[in-house]
Amino acid sequence: NAGVTQTPKFQVLKTGQSMTLQCAQDMNHNSMYWYRQDPGMGLRLIYYSASEGTTDKGEVPNGYNVSRLNKREFSLRLESAAPSQTSVYFCASSEVWRTDTQYFGPGTRLTVL
Amino acid sequence: AQSVAQPEDQVNVAEGNPLTVKCTYSVSGNPYLFWYVQYPNRGLQFLLKYITGDNLVKGSYGFEAEFNKSQTSFHLKKPSALVSDSALYFCAVRDGSENNRLAFGKGNQVVVIP
């Protein structure tokens, strides 16, 4: 099993450009999450999907949209990138949305100029 | 809302010595507590969790953590540190309500000195 995979690994954007970060899991997990990691701030939840067909805002949703395409895939879209969105983005999944362990992908390092 | 405090930015320890990484938490209700480790340029890896039951939890790579409800702490420990344990360690907490948010601490850099 590959676990949680993310593409791309690295991306450089100019302010105002758009892009979609892709995430897929092969563990048949119900719940999926998008986080951003910034130095000295830990991980902050952007959006999550407790189950296929549902999505909810997390702690820092502004400037982002998500799509739970199917049970395996959960994408994160930046419609108009801003320098404040320079960060490392992690996708995670868990079998049960409340109590279960979350498993993380390798991350996407995004720089917005 | 739940929160986590990891008071030390960096923990330095000599190889072979005991390693402790501190974590205190704040939740309403019963806490679900997690430790994750992040190696350079990698995603977070699960180490261990406390949901209920025995206060001493054993996890991967020889790590363990003790849940202390009165002190609202969940410190991570390893009896004998290895150079390969050098990494960034995150404590996380979720409360037992319908709120699904897993709150992470800011992380502790552990440096094991040969």
What stretch of H or E contains A65? Answer: strand A64-68
Q: Which residues of A touch B23 (CB under 8 A)?
A: none
Query: Does residue A47 belong to the interface with chain B, where contact is any CB pair within 8 Å?
Result: no
Q: Smallest CA–CA separation between A105 and chain B, in Å?
A: 6
Give residue B13's pLDDT: 97
Residue B97 has pLDDT above 80, yes or no: no
- Please count the residues of chain B: 114
Give residue A50's pLDDT: 87
- Residue B42's pLDDT band (cuts 50, 70, 90): confident
Calculate mean pLDDT across residues A5-22.
Answer: 96
Give tens-digit pLDDT for A61-75: 999 999 999 999 999
Token duo for residue B102: 């897993």
- Residue B77's pLDDT band (cuts 50, 70, 90): very high
Reply yes or no: is the peptide bond before residue A39 cis, omega within 30 of 0.
no
8-state DSSP, A73: B
Q: Judge contact between A106 and A9, C-beta under 8 A.
A: yes
Half-sphere exposure of A27 (CA within 13 A, CB side): 20
